[in-house]
Amino acid sequence: MSDTDSFIEEVSEEVRRDRLFNLLRRYGWIAAALVVLVVGGAAFNEYRKAADRTEAQARGDALLAALEQPEPGDALTAVASDGSVPALMLAAAALEEEGNYTAAADLLDQLAVMQDAPAIYRDVATLKSVMLRSDTLSADDKRTRLAGLAVPGNPLRLLAEEQLALVDIEAGDLEAANARLDMIEADAETSVGLRARVGQLKLAVGLTPDAPEATSDEGPVEGQ
């Protein structure tokens, strides 16, 4: 390489360095801001994860402490005041076991309208609330609440149909109840336990088919 070429290369390299320095001086704050944002975002995410872990651990400890009480219903209700789905379900179950059906149903109603809760939990809460309020809800209220569950594809469809059959029986509409119970019995997804309950319910309200009339093997008596 000649001295001229070497000189030109050194000048070009110096020009590139000057340009880079000018770019950094002009736009370097953007890169610095991006670095700060990335580092700050990572730190915030770690802080949030740590806070979530601490909160979850505290809630778990509170649930365990409440469950150790002789009658944990009230203690679990206090823990469930933050809207935790597991706490609400545990509190409702404890209150039901203690015989406080109204308070249990109130918690289930709260869970049933929580849009951020999984749909299956909302549906279970609706069904269970109707069952706990069977003596206080009107037939129309029960049908309204159960209608959204007794639809194709809902995992609780057959259980909701069973409750609707009970509503029909309470209303004196045995024909509608019988049709609904027949449908449950004929459904391939009906469990053994549910099919047995349907049979017992039919027997209890007199919806079983009439027994065929007895026939005699003997021929007609002569002279009659």
At 97, give phi and psi (nearest 5°).
-65, -30
CB 146 within 8 A of CB 160: yes
pTM assigned to the model: 0.66
The pLDDT value recorded for residue 77 is 87
pLDDT in tens, 107-125: 999 999 999 999 999 999 9
Q: Which one-letter amino acid corresponds to residue 89?
A: M
What sign for the dihedral angle of Cα 24, 27, 30, 36?
Answer: positive
At 58, give phi and psi (nearest 5°).
-65, -40
Cα distance between residue 125 and residue 112, in whole Å: 5
The pLDDT value recorded for residue 51 is 64
CB 69 within 8 A of CB 93: no
The pLDDT value recorded for residue 212 is 41
The pLDDT value recorded for residue 71 is 80
Residues of the chain short of pLDDT 50, as ranges, are 7, 210-224
Distance of alpha carbon 84 from the chain centroid: 12
Task: Enter the tokens of residue 127.
Answer: 């069904």
Q: What is the DSSP string of 156-180?
A: THHHHHHHHHHHHHHTT-HHHHHHH
